[in-house]
Structure 1
Amino acid sequence: MARILGVEIPGNKPLISALPVIYGIGRSRAKLICEQAELNPQMRAKDLTNQQINRIIQVIEENGFVVEGDLRREIQQNIKRLQSIRCYRGIRHIRGLPVRGQRTSTNARTRKGPRKTIGVVRRKEAKKGKV
């Protein structure tokens, strides 16, 4: 298994499918990287030489792709900035609600979490049948 930018790339996959394992690189960027590094996208990742791995890393750095920890940090900082200036999107992040204008009267369970069932509170006598 090849190691690129601190990430183990699955060796049994073609390069075009193995590179998206790196956070911040999708299929289109993987294709672009293969073209610029002059590598066959269908080549297995386990067949990469050290020189080819270095070329992939060089292409990623030359193009200025922000990947892995730097990208995660940047996204977290953006969210914290939105929260600190108390803008609408920041408040939605704080409250754990959908940020991009989705409806919340129904659905939005991914952001809101599991349903909280609200029941009727009765007196003790009502439970025993002495109403």
Structure 2
Amino acid sequence: MVRLVGVDLPRNKKIAYALTYIHGIGLTSARKIIEVADIDSDTRVYDLTTEQGVALRQTLENTGLKFEGDLRRFNGLNIKRLNEINCYRGKRHRNSLPTRGQRTRTNARNRRGSKKTVTGKKK
């Protein structure tokens, strides 16, 4: 089992796809990382040698990017700052509404949650 940046990588996946399980690494950056670490892209996680694991760790440390806990903390602090200064985006975060101008009369179901039916008025 390979553990990088506090995340257990899935054993049966190719290394490029397994690296995307780390928060902050997408497929493009994963491919760049394995290229810098000089690892074949068809290698599965269970086939990695210890030297390749060490090379991956060193490459991740030298990229200068934020991963996992640091990135989550960074994003959380940014949202907290928006809430504290009471700006429009902060209010939208607070009310669990889309922050980037999307419509909410219809759609926005992922952000607003599941529908809550309101009964009609009696006359």
Provide structure 1 residue ranges, at least 5 long, that are not aligned to the other structure: 127-131
Aligned residue number for residue 82 of structure 2: 82
Following superposition, the deviation at residue 116 of structure 1 comes to: 2.7
Please, which moves more after superposition, 111-120 or 28-37? 111-120
CA distances 1:93-129 after superposition (whole Å, capped 9, x unpaired): 001111111001111122222223222455xxx9xxx
Q: Percent identity?
A: 47
Segments of 4+ in structure 1 off by > 6 A? none
Counterpart-to-counterpart distance in 2, 1:50 and 1:80: 40
Aligned residue number for residue 63 of structure 1: 63
Aligned residue number for residue 14 of structure 2: 14
| Secondary structure in structure 2 of the residue aligned to 1:56 | helix
Q: State the TM-score, normalizing by the size of structure 2.
A: 0.92
**Correspondences of 1:44-123 after superposition (within 5 Å):** 44-120=44-120
Counterpart-to-counterpart distance in 2, 1:18 and 1:119: 47
Larger radius of gyration: 1
Output the amino acid matched with 2:119. Answer: G
Following superposition, the deviation at residue 64 of structure 1 comes to: 0.8
Please, which moves more after superposition, 44-53 or 24-33? 44-53
Counterpart-to-counterpart distance in 1, 2:72 and 2:108: 24
CA spacing shift, 1:57–1:117, aligned 2, 3 Å? same
Counterpart-to-counterpart distance in 2, 1:19 and 1:26: 8
Aligned residue number for residue 129 of structure 1: none
Counterpart-to-counterpart distance in 1, 2:36 and 2:8: 21
